[in-house]
């Protein structure tokens, strides 16, 4: 049962991180997006999703509060983004870009904050429902 739970929590962020690695290991596409800066939006979006998945996995740890959850998630996802940019320096037709790393970090930050906020709201809602149910059962 514990193994299933661990797979349910940690497989999605590991899969997404693997997909990022796979896509960044391929040579750069010949045609870049037409709109200037649109690759930064893609970087931000991809790392936002990774941060949401990491927050989802880490939020099951009882001893982590919302601020700690955000800090750990930003650190893990941000370092993965920097590592991905370094990795691209070894791939033909790709090169690391500091602005891409900033976009990765922005996505990690936004996703971590949004994920932690959503998890906090969900837990508060569950506590409120439990309190209401307890009150109703006593009356």
At 83-112, the pLDDT tens digits run: 999 999 898 888 888 999 999 999 999 999
The confidence score (pLDDT) of residue 104 equals 96
Q: Which band of pLDDT confidence, cut at 50, 70 and 90, is reported for residue 131?
A: low
End-to-end CA distance of the chain: 37
Bin 37: left if φ > 0, else alpha if -120 < ψ < 50, else beta: left
Q: List all residues 6 or more positions away from 82 whose beta carbon is below 8 Å from its beta carbon.
A: 101, 104, 105
Residue 129: pLDDT over 70: no
At 9-50, the pLDDT tens digits run: 899 999 999 999 999 888 776 666 566 667 899 999 999 999
The single residue listed with the structure tokens 């070894």 is: 90
Average of per-residue pLDDT across 52-78: 89
- For 109, other C-beta atoms within 10 Å of its C-beta total 19
- 51 or 66, greater pLDDT: 51
Task: Please give the model's pTM, rounded to 2 decimal places.
Answer: 0.82
């Amino acid at each position: 049962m514990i193994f299933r739970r661990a797979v349910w929590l940690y497989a999605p962020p590991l899969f997404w991180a693997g997909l990022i690695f796979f896509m960044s290991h391929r040579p750069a596409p010949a045609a870049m997006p037409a709109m200037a800066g649109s690759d930064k939006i893609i970087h931000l979006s991809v790392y936002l999703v990774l941060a949401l998945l990491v927050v989802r996995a880490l939020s099951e740890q009882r001893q982590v509060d919302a601020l700690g959850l955000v800090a750990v998630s930003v650190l893990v996802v941000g370092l993965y983004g920097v590592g991905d940019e370094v990795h691209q320096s070894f791939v033909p037709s790709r090169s690391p870009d500091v602005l891409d790393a900033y976009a990765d970090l922005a996505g990690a930050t936004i996703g971590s904050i949004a994920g932690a906020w959503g998890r906090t709201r969900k837990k508060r809602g569950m506590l409120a429902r439990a309190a209401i149910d307890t009150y109703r059962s006593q009356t």
